[in-house]
Structure 1
Amino acid sequence: MLRPLTGHPRTAAVIRRLASRSVRARTTLAACVSVAVVMLAASAVVQTLLRVNLEHTVETGAREEAQAVSRLATAGRLTPQLPLGPGTDFIQVVDAHGKVVARSPNLDGRPALSPTGTREGHRTYNLDALGEKHDQRVTTVTTATPTGPVTIHVGASLRTADTAEDITTAALAALGTLLVLTVGALTWRTTGRALRPVEAIRAEVAAISDRGLDRRVPAPRGDDEIARLAATMNAMLERLEAAGIRQRRFIADASHELRSPLAVLRTQLEVAHTHPDPAVRDTLVEGALQDTERLQALSADLLLLARLDATGRSRPEELVDLTDLVRTTVAARPTDLHPITLHTPVEITVPGNVLWLGRLLTNLLDNAQRHAVHRVTVRLTTDPATGGAVLDVSNDGPSIDPADQERIFERFTRLDDARSRDDGGTGLGLSIARDIAALHGGTLTVHDTPDGTAFRTRLATVTPLRAGAAAR
């Protein structure tokens, strides 16, 4: 039993090797196979049309010769020997009794022809005695003569058609081979030139390490897919480089921020451990506890920043009653700090995480109360243009220099009037607040007001819960 060609182990191995080759080789192979298939189909059509046309020409010539002999027989001018016309191999005229009454010279002494079968709709005759190895087309015509009806057989050889078909087959094979080789060479060269920038990009990316993110892949000229791929790769490298710079800066800042309180804490504990005065030891231990609380707060902030960075662009979709959250957070603030005036004329629902949004507001309130002189104001409204939530937290403290209004959102940043570690916080509160706003698809900005400084948060809303709530 014969197995399918594709099931043969060697054939399957060849197919696997071809499939695992480069894009250049697969493209060239596909182009060559496509051209070869088209050439085979076109050659088959051309040969079929040529064969049909040549056979029709041969049959037409034989029919005309038979009609000419028929006119001679009808007129009673039929001679025993008939000359052969162009393209005619033999002529034989047989009467009603099977006797040969006329023939071409090459059939002298031959009995009457009799068909031996049919092929392709035509009768076949045994013509081995003529020494012809080519196919014949025999046209038979019956006509009346003065002496009775006769049957005329005129044979025409298909030698010319066979020769033309052989020449055409050889020419098409040579042309097809040349065309396949040409297409393969052009495809190989063109694909190689097209993929050269891709190889350059691959080599450059392979050479880039975590310490060489400042390198960029070569961008080819133009606006094709490869140029856009290079632009995308360079943009990704820029983001990775910026992320690496931020990470290294963050680690350095965090190390610096942790080093100082840890050193102070160790000093206090060492002195308290050796000091003989109990009152001094109590004071030192109290200071150590304060530094421990600061370290705990700093660790919590660092952990939250890491969680925000890990979350990326995954936006929380929980429905949060922002108005109730603002009221609850403000009501829970300590009363010994600057008083907070709250304005919530509308009630708003936003998609988000209630804990993170609460942390955002808490950080803004901590910053506002730290820098306020007399009062802090919280106002929750909606933007008439976009319908989004607008949360303003303002204080009547000193204004922020325009050059520092973006810098205050950087991690571990403290302005000159807030350098004290006792009053200035960890330097992460505003950075965390902006990251939370960005995670919720919003923004956090700072601007000066006639009474001081205001931080404005914009968030996308879902649907107002109730309108016209009384302001507090």
Structure 2
Amino acid sequence: MWRGIRFRVTIVASIAMAVILILGGFALVVLQRDSLTATIDRALAQRADDLTALVPTGDDFGGVFPVGADEGFAQLLAGDGTVLASTPNLADAAPLPVDLPVSSDAVRTITGVGGDDDSFRVLTRPLEGARYLHVGTEFEVVAGAAETLLGLLAVTVPILILVTGTLIWLLVGRTLRPVERIRSEVAEIGSRELHRRVPQPTTGDEVERLAETMNEMLARLERSVERQQTFVADASHELRSPLTRIRSALELGQRGDGSHPGDDDALLRDVVGMQRLVEDLLFLARSDDGKAPSRRRRLDLDDLVIGEARTARADDSVSFDLSGVSAAHVEGDSVQLRSAVRNLLENARRHASGRVTVSLGEQDGEAVLTVTDDGPGIPESEAERVFERFTRLDDSRTTQTGGSGLGLAISRQIAESHGGSLRLTSFDTDGARFELRIPLAE
């Protein structure tokens, strides 16, 4: 709880609010004090103006200022500090303790007026004849107002902080409640329950997007696990038949029954087929993890295509037309590109009735290789499924006649890793045409 987001947000927000309120309160006290002081100073200046008009210009002035006690006090001093006149409340008081001389109105806060220890605000104005007029009033009202305001702030600030913290605690809790439901749901989802989804609120905020992202992740994870399970099952199925034949041959050899003509060739084909299947599986696994080795260099793709076509047409029952192959230079891994081309050619040879047409050229900054067979063709509805792993549209074919179903998947993965593409471009019944595109070398 103490390490939770809710607690941390509440603490940080409460501290921030406390700092703001304290600084605001301090500023309010200062502004109040300055405002009251300015008001008092203006009143003193006005009172000094009124009293200045009553002061005679001669040196024989000995009157009493007609200022009531509730209006403060006033005192007129000679240049030597002698009291010439004062208000009744300073009739017997000593000269005010204000530094002389002054050349213009000077306002000070002093204590000790008339034996009183309270604070007073005093304005001193120089007059003609080296005389000085002191006008003052009590200043405790300002200090009292500041103390009252500080006391009020001392009570209200903690209350505001407490109320703010409580509201933030409740608000954050309400906001995080859907997140907690999402967390609880994800925690309950096991490997066999990947079809489940987290509740998705319709708030249109980050929480809804989080739930949506979590559901998308669960869907991807579900598809990934399904592909992995299918992958393992298909790989096991592909390996079972050749392993069974090899085991049978070895058991016959142990019993001394001898071997039949062609057994060695059949076993060798099985071993070669298993070796290639394992290599294909290893390549796909490394590609999925982004760890497939790749050594890129400038290649003559036409030489690579012609070389693989010569190997593929060793079967005299299918002819290869290479008249459309022209020069094309790409930058890529020769081993991977050779494998991609080989898979396309072997796929075409297996399904061709008697002829495979190969063309290679340059178009829009890419090398374009097309491989067309004159076989039964592929329906448009199966155009993407043929690139899935272990996919063979004719389930009756064996690994000897139909391949493992990994070739086209590997070829597409190689093309995409080189920044290109592989797609089926013909959907009629006159054969299938695959188009491989690889960016040209710069």
CA deviations 1:31-81 (Å, max 9, x no partner) are 333333333343333333322232233233334434444433318896654
Residue of structure 2 in register with 1:263 after alignment: 244
Aligned residue in 2 for 1:394: 372
Q: Distance in 2 between matches of 1:391 and 1:265?
A: 39
> How far did residue 406 of structure 1 move?
4.0
What does residue 320 of structure 2 align with? 340
How many Å separate the matches in 1 of 2:87 and 2:417? 104
Gaps of 5+ in 2: none
Secondary structure of 2:210's counterpart equals helix
SS at match of 1:153: strand
Distance 1:263 1:97, change over 3 A: closer
Question: Matched residue of 2:400: which SS?
Answer: coil
Superposition map of 1:443-462 within 5 A? 443-445=422-424, 447-448=426-427, 451-462=430-441
Whole-angstrom distance in 2 between the partners of 1:141 and 1:336:
123
Structure 1 pair 192–349 and aligned structure 2 pair: CA distance change class (3 A): farther
Relative distance call for 1:307 and 1:60 in structure 2 (3 A) is closer
Aligned to 1:217: 198
Q: Deviations over 1:409-449 (max 9, x none)?
A: 33333344861443222232233223323333412326245
In structure 2, distance between residues paired with 1:285 and 1:312: 36
Which residue of the partner structure matches residue 376 of structure 1?
356
Question: 262-271 or 283-292: which moved more?
Answer: 283-292
CA distance 1:318–1:238, change in 2 (3 Å): farther
Aligned residue pair count: 435
Does residue 299 of structure 1 match 2:278?
yes
Report sequence identity in percent: 37
Partner of 1:29: 11
Q: Does 1:195 align with 2:176?
A: yes
Indicate conservation of the 8 Å contact 1:84/1:104, yes or no: yes
Distance 1:453 1:34, change over 3 A: same
Structure 1 residues 127 and 452: CA distance shift in structure 2, 3 A: closer
- With normalisation by structure 2, the TM-score equals 0.84
Distance in 2 of aligned mates of 1:448 and 1:395: 12
Once the two structures are superposed, the pairs formed by residues 320-335 of structure 1 within 5 Å of their partners are 320-335=299-314
The answer to whether the Cα contact below 8 Å between 1:268 and 1:285 also exists between their aligned partners in 2 is no
Residues 341/131 of structure 1: CA separation in 2 closer, same or farther (3 Å cut) = same
- Retained in 2: the 8 A contact 1:62–1:88? no
Residue aligning to 2:123: 139
Closer, same or farther: CA 378–449 of 1 in aligned 2, 3 Å: farther
| Residue 226 of structure 2 corresponds to residue 245 of structure 1 | yes
Question: How far 1:405 moved relative to its partner?
Answer: 4.3
Deviation digits for residues 312-339 of structure 1, max 9, x if unmatched?
8999864443223212322344534322
- Alignment partners' CA distance in 2, 1:72 and 1:414: 120
Offset from partner CA, 1:155-186 (integer Å, 9 cap, x none): 21112222222223333444444443343333
Confirm or deny that 1:54 pairs with 2:36: yes
Which ranges in structure 1 are unaligned for 5 or more consecutive residues? 1-16, 464-472
Q: Is the 8 A contact 1:437 1:444 kept in 2?
A: no
- Residue 115 of structure 2 corresponds to residue 130 of structure 1: yes
CA distance, structure 2, for counterparts of residue 408 and residue 439 of structure 1 = 19
Amino acid aligned to 1:408: V
- Tell me the distance in 2 between the aligned counterparts of 1:329 and 1:58: 104
> Which TM-score applies when normalising by structure 1?
0.79
**Is the Cα–Cα contact under 8 Å of residues 88 and 157 in structure 1 kept in the other structure?**
no
Q: CA deviation at 1:127?
A: 1.8
Tell me how large the CA RMSD over aligned residues is.
3.4
Residue 427 of structure 1 corresponds to: 405
Q: 1:418 to 1:344 in 2, by over 3 A?
A: farther
Aligned-partner Cα distance in 2 for 1:378–1:53: 95
